[in-house]
Amino acid sequence: MTSMPSLPITPSRLSPAVRLATCALLVLLSGCALLGGTPKEAVTIFALNPRVQVDPTWPAVPWQLSMTTPSAARMEDSARMTVRPTPNEVQVYKGASWAKRPSEMLEDAVLRALEDSGKIPAVARQGSGITGDYKLVLDIRRFESDYAGQPAPAATIEVNAKLLHGQDPQVVLSQTFLQVQPATGTAVADVVIAFERALTTLTRDISGWVLIEGDRHQRGAHR
């Protein structure tokens, strides 16, 4: 696996939340360099901050949900930002990294979206002590920047979701979600903005799907 050349990173083009996290981490890295040791190549660390707008048509449900930590192949769940220049070639962006692994980003985003929706009594990570009536299992298949023959890459996130009924455990439904958000340019900052759009939309789609399908199953089980 090779590294993509350093590309211009322009924090002013990022959203305020991403820009603040990026600046804070750059200051921290600069401070570490001053403490001694061998000088290292500067790395810009990016933190996505997806905010999901609640759909008023989502049903309010009476049941609780537990979430397992999303699974992913090691290549897809790395803090290194991966890019696919050609279909059979995977590289990483030089001098850029994620603040969290993709599995952590996805879990945090879906958990927060459901909690903030006001549509569900409780949602928690598995092992937190909260017993879920339903369980959400996520598998990350792709989390990469993909050129796909275009002059600029697209942030590509593909996730398979399974909703299980906690008592059986029965698979209520399985669905694969795909988000492809083109970047406005080849710079890392452009790619990060595209990833934030992709993760926000994917999170909204998964959250709505969980509430709608869980509600449909729960109502059908009590007919």
Structural domain includes residue 212: yes
Structural domain includes residue 11: no
Structural domain includes residue 206: yes
Contact assessment for residue 46 and residue 115, using Cβ atoms and an 8 Å cutoff: no
Structural domain includes residue 185: yes
Domain enclosing residue 163, as ranges = 2-6+60-221
Q: What are the pLDDT digits (tens) for 44-91?
A: 999 999 999 999 999 999 999 999 999 999 989 999 999 999 999 999
pLDDT bin (cut points 50, 70, 90) of residue 128 is confident
Structural domain includes residue 81: yes
Ranking 5-14, 23-32, 182-191 by mean pLDDT, the lowest is 23-32
96/76 Cα distance (integer angstroms): 16
pLDDT bin (cut points 50, 70, 90) of residue 41 is confident
Structural domain includes residue 32: no
Tell me, what's the pLDDT at 28?
Answer: 44
Q: What is the mean pLDDT of residues 193-219?
A: 97
Structural domain includes residue 130: yes
pLDDT bin (cut points 50, 70, 90) of residue 16 is low
Helix intervals (H) in the chain: 16-34, 102-117, 188-221
User: For the chain, first and last CA: distance in Å?
Assistant: 55
Tell me, what's the pLDDT at 133?
Answer: 92
- The chain-wide mean pLDDT, for the chain, equals 86
Structural domain includes residue 70: yes
Amino acid at 68: T
Query: What total of structural domains would you count in the chain?
Result: 1
Q: What is the mean pLDDT of residues 159-185?
A: 93
CATH of the domain at 68: 3.40.50.10610
